[in-house]
């Protein structure tokens, strides 16, 4: 029997890559449910191709249109509406695998719902873990969910762990496995060599033009500020049960090495591949087996040289803020994530400059760094409070 997959955020970059891999393996996977935000036409096309039992989206007006179009095409997909239905589908009795690929804090509740039903959860939505770290991992343990990282770096690190540790990486001991450090690689984004004096003039279109990866707009801006690497630093802290001092960020502009694990005997294991998310997606969908992904194989004879560097703190202030937040604890990371979502959206709407993103994040972190948030209600309240504060402070940066 094919394993039944729910894709949260099917209309996004990760959602589409997941469907691409699933389409290559109809004997292994079938689509139980797709969820989207606003891209109703794309969702319709996906329903016509994959014929899921359910499709869900945010607005009643979109749902009405989708139902009409599906009826015209004779497609029997049942259409549901509203955020609560994403969580229902994520925890559906018939779901075997849940791909968590909604962007931002909106992904937390549906992803947690999948965890609480003990599903195999493929985690792309790093913001969910950054917002709720310990609570999320405790839920994974309590409900015996299987958590597999999709983020390319964390998937690479996972692949470089000893198999015994892979089974419970979020509660194992890296030192007992002989691991001395996690080397988290990052490209440095599109502005790695841009004159700092020009940073105020950076436009959204320049910021979303990642040199190596094609991704959604929010994560692309995060890569440009290196907040993405900061969020990934916090993500790694929870996924691999380690402390900030166990993780080092290494710039690797080519994005061919997706991260590395350093062992105490001097060995360093790395995972390499062309920058294409279908590799980690295929890895996690089939784990522990391997399946084809249609990703172009690496050709070592045409690869240029690999380079490595330390990130410059003045070029990437968001990275430093995220590492500080990780040291402070849960309240700080929840508040920083929320502030960053507000700041990135304001930048994309051309309300604030590129450099204002870090300034706004710094203000929110300073205000909420010592706040505590361990229960879900506290986390959601702090997320809301930090967003409100960021919105209020935003006025000082409007250009």
Site string for ligand DXP, 174-213 (x = CB under 6 A): ------------xx-x-----------------------x
Give the interface size with ligand NDP as a residue count (CB under 6 A): 27
186 marked ligand binding residue? no
Strand partners, 7: 34, 99
Neighbours of 76 (CB within 10 A): 11
At closest approach, how far in Å is the CB of 175 from ligand NDP? Answer: 28
Which of 5, 87, 106, 115: binder of ligand NDP (CB under 6 A)?
Answer: 106
152 binds ligand DXP (CB under 6 A): yes
Over the Cα atoms of the chain, what is R_g?
A: 20
For residue 168, CA distances in Å to 143, 154, 174, 205 come to: 13, 14, 11, 40
At closest approach, how far in Å is the CB of 33 from ligand NDP? Answer: 13
154 binds ligand NDP (CB under 6 A): no
For residue 249, CA distances in Å to 264, 316, 322, 350, 372 come to: 18, 12, 12, 30, 27
Given its phi and psi angles, is residue 121 left (phi above 0), alpha (psi -120 to 50 degrees) or beta? beta
Phi, psi of 103 (to 5 degrees): -90, 140
Give the interface size with Mn ion as a residue count (CB under 5 A): 3
151 binds ligand DXP (CB under 6 A): yes
117 binds ligand NDP (CB under 6 A): no
278 binds ligand DXP (CB under 6 A): no
Residue 1 makes CB contacts below 8 A (sequence gap 6+) with none
Taken in order 323, 324, 330, 332, the sign of the CA dihedral is: negative
Contact segment (CB under 6 A) with ligand DXP among 106-114, 151-159, 327-335, 351-359 equals 151-159
Q: Which of residues 79-98 bind ligand DXP (CB under 6 A)?
A: none
223 binds ligand DXP (CB under 6 A): yes
* Whole-angstrom distance, CA of residue 278 vs CA of residue 357: 30
9 binds ligand NDP (CB under 6 A): yes
Give the interface size with ligand DXP as a residue count (CB under 6 A): 12
210 marked ligand binding residue? yes
> Strands (DSSP E) along the chain, which ranges?
3-8, 29-35, 54-57, 78-81, 97-100, 120-123, 146-149, 179-186, 247-251, 257-263, 268-272
223 marked ligand binding residue? yes
Which of 4, 5, 15, 182: binder of ligand NDP (CB under 6 A)?
Answer: 15
14 marked ligand binding residue? yes
Q: Which residue in the block uniquely carries the two structure tokens 């239905």?
A: 85
At closest approach, how far in Å is the CB of 234 from ligand NDP? Answer: 12
73 marked ligand binding residue? no
* Residue 258 CA neighbour count, 13 Å, CB half: 23
Neighbours of 385 (CB within 10 A): 18
13 binds ligand NDP (CB under 6 A): yes
Residue 12 makes CB contacts below 8 A (sequence gap 6+) with 101, 102, 103, 216
Q: Which of residues 134-193 bind Mn ion (CB under 5 A)?
A: 151-153
229 binds ligand DXP (CB under 6 A): yes
Contact segment (CB under 6 A) with ligand DXP among 90-98, 161-169, 221-229, 291-299 equals 221-229
Residue 13: which of ligand NDP, ligand DXP, Mn ion, none does it interact with, CB under 5 to 8 A by kind? ligand NDP
299 marked ligand binding residue? no
> Strands (DSSP E) along 264-333, which ranges?
268-272
Q: Which is nearer to ligand DXP, 178 or 204 (CB)?
A: 204
At closest approach, how far in Å is the CB of 175 from Mn ion? Answer: 25
* Residue 133 CA neighbour count, 13 Å, CB half: 29
Cite the annotated binding site for NADPH by residue number.
11-14, 37-38, 125, 127, 216
Contacts with ligand NDP, residue ranges (CB under 6 A): 9-15, 36-39, 58, 101-103, 106, 124-127, 151, 213, 215-216, 218-219, 277
Contacts with Mn ion, residue ranges (CB under 5 A): 151-153
């Amino acid at each position: 029997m094919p394993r039944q997959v729910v894709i949260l955020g099917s209309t996004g970059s990760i959602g589409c890559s997941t469907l691409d891999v699933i389409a290559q393996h109809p004997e292994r996977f079938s689509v139980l449910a797709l969820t989207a935000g606003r891209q109703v036409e794309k969702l319709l096309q996906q329903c016509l191709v994959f014929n899921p039992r359910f499709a869900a989206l945010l607005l009643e007006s979109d749902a009405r249109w989708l139902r009409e179009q599906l009826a015209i095409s004779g497609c029997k997909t049942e259409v549901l509406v509203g955020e609560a239905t994403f969580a229902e589908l994520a925890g559906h009795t018939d779901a075997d695998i849940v791909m968590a690929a909604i962007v931002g804090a909106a992904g937390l509740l549906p992803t947690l719902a999948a965890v609480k039903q003990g599903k195999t959860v493929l985690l792309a939505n790093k913001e969910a873990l950054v917002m709720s770290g310990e609570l999320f991992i405790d839920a994974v343990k309590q409900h015996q969910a299987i958590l597999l990282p999709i983020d390319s770096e964390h998937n690479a690190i996972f692949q470089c762990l000893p198999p015994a540790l892979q089974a419970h990486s979020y509660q194992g001991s890296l030192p007992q496995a002989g691991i001395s450090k996690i080397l988290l690689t990052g490209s440095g984004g599109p502005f790695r060599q841009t004159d700092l004096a020009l940073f105020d003039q950076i436009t959204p279109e320049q910021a979303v033009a990642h040199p190596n990866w094609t991704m959604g707009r929010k994560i692309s801006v995060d890569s440009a500020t290196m907040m993405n690497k900061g969020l990934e630093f916090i993500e790694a802290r929870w996924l691999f049960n380690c402390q900030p001092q166990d993780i080092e960020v290494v710039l690797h502009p080519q994005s061919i090495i997706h991260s590395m694990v350093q062992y105490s005997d001097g060995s360093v294991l790395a995972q390499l591949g062309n920058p294409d998310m279908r590799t980690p997606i295929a890895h996690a969908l089939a784990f522990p087996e391997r399946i084809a992904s249609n990703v172009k194989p690496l050709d070592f004879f045409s690869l240029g040289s690999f380079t490595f560097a330390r990130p410059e703190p003045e070029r990437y202030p968001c990275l430093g803020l995220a590492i500080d937040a990780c040291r402070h604890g849960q309240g700080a990371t929840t508040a920083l994530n929320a502030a960053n979502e507000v700041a990135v959206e304001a930048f994309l709407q051309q309300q604030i400059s590129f450099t204002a993103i870090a300034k706004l994040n710094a203000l929110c972190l300073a205000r909420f760094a010592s706040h505590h948030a361990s229960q879900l209600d506290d986390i959601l309240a702090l997320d809301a409070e930090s967003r409100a504060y960021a919105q209020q402070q935003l006025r000082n940066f409007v250009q």
